[in-house]
Amino acid sequence: MRTVLLAAAVAAVAVTAFAAPKPPARPATAAPAKPAGPAAPAAVDWRSPDPNDVLVIDTNKGRILVEMLPEVAPKHVAQVRALAHEGFYDGQRFFRVIDKFMDQTGDPQNNGQGGSSKPNLAAEFTFRRGSDLPFVMAADQTVAEVGFIKSLPVMSQSMMLAAMTKDQKVTAWGLYCQGVMGMARDSTPDSANSQFFLMRYPYPSLDKNYTAWGRVIAGLDVVRDIKAGEPVADPQDRMEHVRLLADIPEASRPKIRVIDPKGPWFRAEIVRVRAAKGADFTACDIEIPAEVK
Is residue 245 situated within a structural domain?
A: yes
Q: Is 282 helix (H, G, I), strand (E, B) or coil?
A: coil
pLDDT tens track for 71-86 = 999 999 999 999 999 9
pLDDT value, residue 173: 98
Query: What is the tally of structural domains in the chain?
Result: 1
pLDDT of residue 39: 80
The per-residue pLDDT for range 229-249, each reduced to its tens digit, is 999 999 999 999 999 999 999
Does residue 31 lie within any of the structural domains? no
- Average pLDDT score, the chain: 90
Instruction: Kindly report the CATH number assigned to the domain that includes residue 143.
Output: 2.40.100.10
- pLDDT bin (cut points 50, 70, 90) of residue 290 is very high
Query: Does residue 207 sit within a domain?
Result: yes
103 lies in some domain: yes
- Look at residues 131, 130, 135 and name the one whose alpha carbon lies nearest to residue 261: 135
Classify burial at 136, counting beta carbons within 10 Å of its beta carbon; exposed 0-12, middle 13-18, buried 19 or more.
Answer: middle
Return the pLDDT at 8: 35
Give the model confidence (pLDDT) of 89-100 as tens digits: 999 999 999 999
Classify residue 226 by its DSSP letter: S
**Strand-by-strand arrangement of the 196-199 sheet:** 96-98, 102-105, 196-199, 180-183, 212-218, 62-68, 54-59, 239-244
Residue range(s) defining the domain that contains residue 139: 50-109+122-292
Position 20 in a domain:
no
pLDDT tens by residue, 26-67: 555 555 555 555 688 999 999 999 999 999 999 999 999 999
In a domain, 28, yes or no: no
What are the φ and ψ backbone dihedral angles of 75, each rounded to 5 degrees?
A: -70, -40
